[in-house]
């Protein structure tokens, strides 16, 4: 195989990968837009605020463990509550990150405030 053949092979591979990426973008846009047709800055901010509230509830539960003045370990129900709040926060945070990724990749459009529905 010559250098020219290697170069052609590399170009073909890059074109193939670009076609695949384009197909992935089209599929993601179609699927996501079916589920979330009107994504706006307002509802993205609402999700961010919900994540913040879950973070606060999780941290609140963590600090409650340290309030015991007698040095007693937390009881199992307190630990379970902490775990539940952590899981809720982490799931919401990951969902928000997935949304950010989808926006960055062009899988979704964000309508500007006051923009007409199309």
pTM score, whole prediction: 0.78
Q: Over pLDDT 90: what percentage of the chain?
A: 75
pLDDT 10s digits, 51-109? 999 999 999 999 888 776 677 888 899 999 999 999 999 999 999 999 999 999 999 99
Confidence (pLDDT) at 118: 46
Residues 58/82, Cβ–Cβ less than 8 Å: yes
Task: Outline where the chain has alpha helix (H).
Answer: 3-35, 41-65, 76-105
* Cα–Cα dist 100/46, whole Å: 14
* pLDDT at 114 > cutoff 70: no
Cα 11 from chain centroid?
Answer: 33
């Amino acid at each position: 195989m010559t250098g020219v053949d290697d170069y052609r092979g590399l170009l073909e591979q890059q074109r193939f990968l670009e076609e695949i990426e384009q197909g992935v973008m089209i599929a993601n846009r179609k699927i996501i837009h079916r589920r979330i047709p009107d994504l706006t800055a307002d509802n993205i901010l609402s999700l961010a605020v919900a994540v913040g509230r879950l973070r606060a509830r999780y941290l609140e539960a963590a600090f409650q463990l340290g309030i015991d003045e007698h040095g007693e370990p937390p009881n199992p129900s307190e630990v379970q509550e902490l775990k539940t709040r952590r899981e809720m926060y982490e799931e919401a945070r990951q969902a928000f990150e997935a949304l950010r990724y989808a926006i960055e990749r062009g899988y979704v459009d964000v309508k500007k405030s006051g923009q007409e529905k199309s």
